[in-house]
Amino acid sequence: MLNQLTLVRDGDGYVVGSPGTAAYVEVPEIGARIIEWLQQGASVAEAGRRAEELAGEPVDVADFLTVLAGEGLLSGSGDDGRIDGTRRQRAGTLLFGRVAWGLYAVLALAVPVLLVAVAGLRPTYRDAFPFTTQLLNILAVSGLGMLAVAAHEGAHVLATAALGLPSRLSVSRRLYFLTFQADLTRLWSVPRRARYGPLLAGLAWDAVVLAGALAAQELLAPGSVAARLLRALVLLQFTAILAQAMVFVRTDVYALLVNATGCKTLWATKGALLRRYLRRSTPADERQLADADPREVVWARRYLWLYVPGTAVALYYLATFVLPGLPHLVALCVAPIRADGLTTAAAWEGLAALTVAVIPSALALFGAIRGGWGVVRRVISARKSTRTSA
C-alpha cells in the first residue's frame, strides 16, 4: 500500500495521501522522507536509522505507520484510483487542454463585451418566464437550471480526469440551495499550481455556455420557443457566474481562495474563531484554534469579513423571498390537482412542477434548518458542560 501513496509539498509540510481511498493528511518533512525511503525498498529499521540521523533523535517509524493506517492511508483494494486510458480522461484532456483553455479565455472575455455593447442581449427578470403558463415556467427554468449545474460540476470532473484522477458527482446543498457537487478530494495528490484548472473548470464552462447561448440567439426567430428558452438559459448562466462570488457558501471562488492562500482548515478555523468572538466557543473550537497555523488564523479572520455579511444577506433573502414564496408556489401547483384530480393537463403540470421544483427546494430548506438547529444544540450543550465542569 505504501507504493500507492502520493507526496506533494505544500508550504512547510507535505500532503500524503492515497488516491485509491481519497484519504489525505499533512506530515512534516521527516515523515515525507520516511515514506520515500520505504517506497524505495528500505526496511522499517533502515528507515528509522536514516530518520534518526536526519532528526538528531530517535524516530518511531512503526508508530508513524500506525498513524497513517489509522487515517485510512494504508487500506484499500490496491487500485490507486487513477483512470489513465479511459474515455473520461481522454475527454478531459480534449476539453481542458491548453488549446481549449485559450478558447475559454477568449469566450470569457467576449461575454462582458457583448453584454455591455448590445443592450438586447442583456438578461432581465422577464427571461425567467419563457411561457405564459406559470407551471411550465417552473418546469422549464428548473430543468434548465439543473442541467446547467450538472454541466458545471461535470466540467470539474472532466478537468480532474485530465490529470489522471477520478471524481464523482453527488447531490447536496449550500445553505438552502439544492445543487450538484463534484468530489475533488483527490486534487490533493497534485501540486497546488495544478489544481487551478479543475477548480476553474466550472466557471469556464459556465462562460462557454453563456457565450454559446448569446450567439445562438442570432440564429433563431425572435419570440420562438427556442429563443425564449435560450433567453432563460442566458439569465441562469449569468446569475450562476455572479453567484460564484458568494464565497461564504464555499463556491468555486472560495476553493480558489483556499488554494491560493494555502489554507487547509479555513472553514473550520473560521467557525471556531466566530464562536470565540460570540463567546460561544467549545473546547473543540479552542483546540482547533490552538492547533491551527497562525497564518491560517489570520486568513480566517479576514474571511469572516466576507462570511458574516454574506450570510446575513443570504438569510435576508431566505426570510424575504424564499419562505414567503414557497407556500404560494406549493398552492399554485396543488390547486389544479385539488380542483380536478389528476384528470387534466393542468393537474399533471402541477404535479410535475411540485416534483421538479418545490419538493427538492423544500427538502434542501429543511436540511439547512435541521443542520442549523443541530449546531445551536451542540453549542448549548457544550456551554452547559463547561459551566458544570467549572
Per-residue pLDDT at 81: 45
Query: What DSSP line would sit under 3-55, residue for residue?
Result: GG-EEEEETTEEEEEETTTTEEEEE-HHHHHHHHHHHTT--HHHHHHHHHHHH
Position 48 pLDDT exceeds 70: yes
Number of helical H runs and strand E runs in the chain:
15, 5
Lowest-pLDDT range of 7-16, 40-49, 106-115: 7-16
Per-residue pLDDT at 217: 86
Q: What proportion of the chain, given as a percentage, has pLDDT over 90?
A: 40
Rounded CA-CA distance 292/264 in Å is 9
- Phi and psi at residue 18, to the nearest 5°: -120, 105
Q: Do 369 and 326 meet the contact criterion of CB atoms below 8 Å apart?
A: no
Position 82 pLDDT exceeds 50: no
Mean pLDDT of 207-232: 91
Lowest-pLDDT range of 15-24, 134-143, 321-330: 321-330
pLDDT, tens only, 134-170: 778 877 888 898 899 989 999 999 999 999 888 877 7
- Phi and psi at residue 173, to the nearest 5°: -140, 155
**387 pLDDT tier (thresholds 50, 70, 90):** low
125 DSSP assignment = G
Position 270 pLDDT exceeds 70: yes
Position 255 pLDDT exceeds 50: yes
Rounded CA-CA distance 163/168 in Å is 14
Mean pLDDT of 276-301: 91
Look at 243 and 354; give whichever has higher pLDDT. Answer: 243
Q: Which residues contact 208 (CB under 8 A, 6 or more apart)?
A: 104, 107
The residue to which cell 487513477 is assigned: 82
Between helix 29-39 and helix 61-70 the angle, nearest 10°, is: 90
